[in-house]
Amino acid sequence: MQRYPIYEHFYSFQGEGVHMGRAAYFVRLYSCDVHCPWCDSAGTWHKDWRPDSVAMMTAEEVAALVDPAAEFVVITGGEPLLYPLKPLVQAINKPIHVETAGHRKPDCKVDWLTVSPKLYYRKPNPITMEQASEYKFIIDSEEALDKLWQLTAPYYNGAPIWLHPEWSQRSNPDILRLIVAAVKHPPYPAKFRAGWQLHKLYMADNLDPNARREAVPLGGDPWKGMPF
């Protein structure tokens, strides 16, 4: 029977993308094979932040966690596509949204697929990239938009591309100006949108006692994201 490593689960609102502001139950799966230097979920993979224990749950046990008032369930990570999600999708009686880096293929259809391609893996998975309901680019340098577009362009399906300042650079005027310019005058044939992580301003996730309280962002230190 498939069991899932549950790093944390909590009731909050979706703070990003098209569904921003809607009540959502989050299930964060443990482990990621990408290792971004600024990862804000480093507790799911980084050797310095690994938790002492991670609960292993069946799909039915995960489904029982979900608050009935949630509009949908977000399966995130870590990298959720490391696992076969079909049992989870079948067990949860809510629309399923999945957030992935886009280098692995889902084993089933979901209601919403947010794909955030990363420069820290070798190649995207064409099927995942083409199935995206929305894309999310994390802008951590002035070159990031160009590089992420080159990665995405062969598979781009016309969905919105959200441009998020990497959180530790959210006050960097160069990064913010770059995003504003791309929205006003897109440098490529795509729908660029200015994005943010609204839940962090509200500290919404931490209001749920089930969320892990410790903040473990890597803060943009490139050495911390290196493979080990």
Contacts with ligand SF4 by CB under 6 A lie at: 32, 34-36, 39, 41, 44, 77-79, 101, 118
Please report how close the Cβ of residue 21 comes to ligand SF4 at its closest, in angstroms: 22
Smaller CB separation from ligand SF4, 63 or 117? 117
Smaller CB separation from ligand SF4, 76 or 131? 76
CB-based contacts of 173: which residues, under 8 Å, 6+ apart? none
Smaller CB separation from ligand SF4, 63 or 134? 134
Please report how close the Cβ of residue 222 comes to ligand SF4 at its closest, in angstroms: 13
Please report how close the Cβ of residue 223 comes to ligand SF4 at its closest, in angstroms: 14
Handedness of CA 87, 44, 39, 198 (dihedral sign): positive
Edge to edge, what strands does the sheet with 161-165 contain? 55-58, 3-13, 23-29, 72-76, 96-100, 112-115, 134-139, 161-165, 192-194
Smaller CB separation from ligand SF4, 97 or 118? 118
Please report how close the Cβ of residue 12 comes to ligand SF4 at its closest, in angstroms: 17
3-state secondary structure of 199: helix
Contact 15, 40 (CB under 8 A): no
Q: What are the angstrom distances between the C-alpha of 37 and each of 65, 139, 216, 224? A: 31, 13, 12, 6
